[in-house]
Structure 1
C-alpha cells in the first residue's frame, strides 16, 4: 500500500471512545503499518460528547485535526435533524478543542433543511465564521430512498426547499465564505489557505486507502471493497478470523475514468485532460464542447485543465452525468 499520510477516525461517534480505546487502535495500526509519514490525523466529534479532558488526551496521542458535527445552530432545525446537542454545546466543544491545542478544526454544516430560512442560514454562517475554524463543510440536505426523510417527503408530510431556493443558498454560501477567506476547493468544502482536508483530497484524487470497521470502504488502486454493515456480524467475522469484507469489485478503466471526471469536476482544480488515457481524450473533449453549449458559462479552461465555474458547480449534478463514459 505504500506510505500513509492521513488517518481519519469517523462515525458513529468516535469521540465517545475513551482515550485507552483510541490508544489500543493506534497500537494495532502501528504494529502492522508505518505511520511515520502521517501529517493529518482527524477524529470526528459531536458537540457535547467530547469533554475537555478527552480532547486533551486525543491531542496528546497525535490527533491534530477535529471535525465537529455542528449541522445547525437553530434549535428547531437541530430537532428536525434528530440532533441532541444545543448551540451552547457547539461553542463549548469548539472552545474546549482550542484550549486542548487543536489548531485545525472543521465545522460541518447543513442547509436546504425544511422550514429553514435564508436568514437562519446567514446567521449560522456568520456565527461560525466569527469562531474562525480552519475548515467549513457546507452540505445541502439530500433526500435518499430508504430514509425517514424520504418517507416524509414522499407522503407530503414535509416539503423540501425548491431548486431555486437551493441554488440561491448555494451561491450565497460560496460568496459569503469566499469573501471571508474560506476558499471553495470542492463543491461543499471550504478552507483557509493550507487547511484543505488532505484525507478527503486523497479520496477525490483516487489514491489507495485502507478501511477498518463496519461499513468502512477501502481501495487498493485496483479493487474497492466494503466491510460488513452489521456491527455484530463484523465482530463475529473478526472473532472467527474471517474476512470482514462483504463486497469487493474490480475497478475497470471506465469506472476509473468516470471517477476521475466526477471527482475532478467537483474540485476547484478540475480535470487534467492528460490524466485521461490518450485513446479517450478526444471523446472527452467532444463531450465538453457539446455540454458547454447546453450549459453556457459553466466551464473554464486553462492549458489542459477543465474545471467548472461557480454556475457550473451549481448545476454539477446535471452536468457531470453527461460527461462520463
Structure 2
C-alpha cells in the first residue's frame, strides 16, 4: 500500500520558526489547485497502481482551501488513483480557520482525520511565534472538534521555547490532554537559518534553549503522556491504541508515496523525486503539462542510512533482518563497538534482532543514527 501527500503552499502569515515552502499571496490559489489537479493526472503512473492507504493534505495551511477546491482535488484523486475504502485522509488546519461549518464541509468531503497546529495555549508564546491564532481560538477550536463527527484528530505542540518556562509547558500538556486527542505530535523548537528566528539568532537577538532545558521538557512530555494512556511510538509522536498515524508510519516503514504540489517529495521504494520549491515555476511547468520534479537516485548506502535514521526513531526499532535481507547489510558486524557502548550506557537494547533506543537514547536519536551512517 502507498500514500499521497498534497502540499498546499499558502499561509495567512509567516510563523517565525517555519522554513516550509509557502506564500501569503492568495491571488493564485485557484491556479494552484488547477495545477495540483493536473499533476495528479500526470503522476498517475508513479505508484504503479498501488492501493492508496493514506492521503495527507499538508502545507502551508490546507484549511485555507474552500469546498470547491476540495471537490476538484478529490475528483482527480479518485479518477487517477486506487484509494482504499478505509484510507486515512488527514487535513492540516489552523485553529483560527476551524468553524462548525468548516468541520462539516471537511467531513462531508471525505476528510476523516484532522491535524491541528495548536503549538501552545499560552498567549505570549503564540504572539512571540507569530502564530495566526490566539489562545482563546486554540481552546474554542478543540471544543468544536470534540462536538463534531471527527473521532480521529492529532494536535501539535512545540517545546524547548527559550523565552518560556517549565510551568508553561506543563500547563500546555495538561490543557491538551484535557481534550483527549487520539494522537499528539510534539516537536522541539529548532532555529532554522532562513526564518525570522534564524535572522534574530544571527543578529544576537535570540538564543536557542539549552540542551538540558529541552531535554527536561522532552522527558516530562514522554512521562506525562505515557501516564495519560498514550504510546510513545516515535520520538515526536504519541497515540492512543489504534490511532497511530498511517501516513507518517508509511514514511518510517519505507513505503512508497507520491508528493503533489510545490516542494513536495516522492519515493517509489528505490529513488526519490523533489518538486520545485517555487509557486511560479511549479505553475508554469504544469501549464505546459510538465512534471516540475528532479530525480534523486539513491545509492545502497543512502537507503541503509535512511532506514537507520527513521527506524531508530520508532518504538518498533531497527530490524536487523530487514537490513540483512532487503539491504544486504550486517549492522552488528559493522557497528559492534557503537552498539555495545550504547547498551552499556543505557541508550539501547538489542533483542530478537531488533535494535531499539531507550527513552534516554531517543533524546539523541538523530545523532546516534548518524553515528551508524555509511559514507558514500
TM-score, normalized by length of structure 2? 0.83
Q: 1:4, 1:37 within 8 Å by CA — same for their partners in 2?
A: no
- Aligned counterpart for 1:134 among listed residues 179, 182, 205: 182
Residue by residue, what CA displacement relative to the aligned partner does 1:266-309 show, whole Å, maximum 9, x if unpaired? 00110110011358544544414424416710011221111100
Shift, 1:208, TM fit: 0.5
2:312 maps to 1:271 = no
Structure 1 window deviating more from structure 2 (149-158 vs 51-60): it is 149-158
Shift, 1:161, TM fit: 1.3
Shift, 1:149, TM fit: 1.5
Residue by residue, what CA displacement relative to the aligned partner does 1:76-122 show, whole Å, maximum 9, x if unpaired? 11112110211211122222223330001100000111211010000
| Correspondence for 1:200 | 248
3-state SS of 2:346 partner:
coil
3-state SS of 1:39 partner:
strand
Residue by residue, what CA displacement relative to the aligned partner does 1:227-252 show, whole Å, maximum 9, x if unpaired? 1211122111111112221x211122
Shift, 1:259, TM fit: 1.0
The alignment of Structure 1 onto Structure 2 pairs a total of residues equal to 324
Shift, 1:37, TM fit: 4.2
State how far apart, in whole Å, the 1-side matches of 2:255 and 2:265 are: 13
Q: 1:288, 1:323 within 8 Å by CA — same for their partners in 2?
A: no
| Correspondence for 1:4 | 52
3-state SS of 1:150 partner:
helix
Task: Tell me which stretches of 4 or more aligned residues in structure 1 moved more than 3 Å.
Answer: 278-286
| Correspondence for 1:71 | 119
State how far apart, in whole Å, the 1-side matches of 2:338 and 2:69 are: 54
C-alpha distance 178-285 of structure 1, shift in aligned 2 (>3 A): farther
2:131 maps to 1:83 = yes
Q: 1:3, 1:37 within 8 Å by CA — same for their partners in 2?
A: no
| Correspondence for 1:220 | 268
Q: 2:235, 2:313 within 8 Å by CA — same for their partners in 1?
A: yes
TM-score, normalized by length of structure 1? 0.95
Unpaired stretches in structure 2, ≥5 consecutive residues: 1-46
| Correspondence for 2:19 | none
Shift, 1:36, TM fit: 3.1
- Aligned counterpart for 1:179 among listed residues 227, 232, 242: 227
Shift, 1:176, TM fit: 0.5
Shift, 1:148, TM fit: 2.1
| Correspondence for 2:292 | 244
Unpaired stretches in structure 1, ≥5 consecutive residues: none
Structure 1 window deviating more from structure 2 (152-161 vs 129-138): it is 152-161
Q: 2:215, 2:363 within 8 Å by CA — same for their partners in 1?
A: yes
State how far apart, in whole Å, the 2-side matches of 1:62 and 1:80 are: 35
Aligned counterparts, 1:48-63, within 5 A: 48-63=96-111
| Correspondence for 1:320 | 369
Residue by residue, what CA displacement relative to the aligned partner does 1:160-201 show, whole Å, maximum 9, x if unpaired? 211111111111111011000111100000011110101000
Q: 1:107, 1:135 within 8 Å by CA — same for their partners in 2?
A: yes
Shift, 1:214, TM fit: 0.8
State how far apart, in whole Å, the 2-side matches of 1:149 and 1:207 are: 34
Of structures 1 and 2, the one scoring higher in RCO (CA 8 A, sep 6+) is 2
